[in-house]
Amino acid sequence: MAQLTKGMFGMGDYRLDSRPARELFGFNSGHITKQDLVHNGGWYNKVGEWLGWGDLSPLNLKRVAEVLEEGEMFITLGERDRTGSGCEDATPTYLAENARFVVTKGVVHHVDRYGWFTGKETAETLSGNLTCSVLSPNALAKMLGIEAPAQA
């Protein structure tokens, strides 16, 4: 059974308590943190189902990597890249083109959309408190089982 399911962090209304997600991951939709790497971002699973939205810190991403099950992917988009009203599903191609971070079991990946880390295997966040594996949009597309995005 899939661990990351549609709307599991709350369906758009930050006041809705999604206790199982909060207990497992430590946050739910509408999450606010001062140490955000992702501000008001959208969260999706590997098939593009919308999971929730909000700020994510390095500690939040590390926690997801610690508890995520094998084969699952937690994909974040930036605030301006969220789909539709911000609470809608995305296609895997859209995720490959616009993802910021992808979390898999034990690993936080930074998606290098602009080629800043070409040739590097890891990158530190600006705050220096999270080292990420570097992933190109093409590599993400391959992980998602789709063709590489046109812009990649």
pLDDT of residue 59: 92
pLDDT-derived band at 128 (thresholds 50, 70, 90) equals: low
CA distance 75 to 29: 14
The structural domains of the chain, with segments of one domain joined by +, span 19-144
Average pLDDT, the chain: 85
Alpha carbon separation from 132 to 47, 128, 140 (Å, rounded): 22, 10, 14
CA distance 120 to 110: 11
pLDDT-derived band at 8 (thresholds 50, 70, 90) equals: confident
Q: Nearest Cα to 124, choosing from 45, 58, 67?
A: 58
pTM: 0.89
pLDDT-derived band at 137 (thresholds 50, 70, 90) equals: very high
CA distance 112 to 134: 6
Give the CA count within 13 Å in the CB-facing half-sphere of 147. 3
| Range of weakest confidence among 11-15, 16-20, 121-125 | 11-15
Q: Nearest Cα to 125, choosing from 142, 108, 138, 137?
A: 108
* pLDDT per position as a tens digit, 23-60: 788 888 888 888 888 999 999 999 999 998 899 999 99
Whether the pLDDT of residue 13 is over 70: the answer is no
- First-to-last C-alpha distance (Å) of the chain: 32
* pLDDT per position as a tens digit, 72-121: 999 999 988 877 666 788 999 999 999 999 999 999 999 998 888 888 88
